[in-house]
């Protein structure tokens, strides 16, 4: 499967959060693999190609924003700062991740996030044959 978005697309939604000269390609690559997984999981083809592009765009922006955290509180006198969100929030950490979750009408991203939070993933065993 191919990468669906380019750096200019992601820069366009990041607006003031983007630092000129930053390379977003690694974030796009990871987002693309996640959306590839999402497309495979979508066995009923609920998500259109355009929706997959939008989801990849917002997940790319999410990963970039996560790596370049925004301040929720700053102080100049004491040089104190508080960053937005917490690590355990996963895609809910940024507005971009929240949009990606909203765009995924299959619910598979939310399910995967829940599994990551709980540390559980479903294992399946297929047995074909005779035990004797």
Strand partners of residue 82: 73
Which of 50, 46, 57 lies closest to 100 in space, CA to CA? 57
pTM: 0.77
Confidence of residue 132 (pLDDT cuts 50, 70, 90): low
Q: How far apart are CA 97 and CA 29, in angstroms?
A: 16
- 3, 32 contact by CB (below 8 A): yes
pLDDT computed for residue 127 by the predictor:
55
Q: How far apart are CA 54 and CA 124, in angstroms?
A: 31
C-alpha neighbours within 13 Å on the C-beta side of residue 68: 15
**pLDDT tens-digit series, residues 65-98:** 988 865 555 566 766 655 555 555 789 888 999 9
């Amino acid at each position: 499967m191919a990468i669906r978005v380019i750096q200019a697309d992601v820069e366009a939604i990041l607006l003031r959060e983007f630092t000129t000269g930053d390379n977003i390609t690694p974030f796009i690559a990871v987002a693309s693999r996640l959306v590839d997984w999402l497309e495979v999981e979508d066995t009923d083809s609920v998500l259109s190609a355009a929706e997959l592009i939008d989801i990849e765009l917002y997940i790319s922006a999410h990963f970039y924003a996560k790596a370049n955290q925004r301040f929720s509180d700053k102080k100049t006198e004491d040089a104190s700062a508080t960053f937005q969100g917490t690590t355990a929030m996963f895609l809910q950490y940024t507005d971009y991740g929240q949009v990606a979750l909203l765009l995924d009408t299959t619910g598979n991203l939310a399910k995967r996030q829940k599994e990551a939070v709980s540390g559980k993933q479903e294992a399946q065993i297929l047995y074909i044959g005779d035990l004797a």
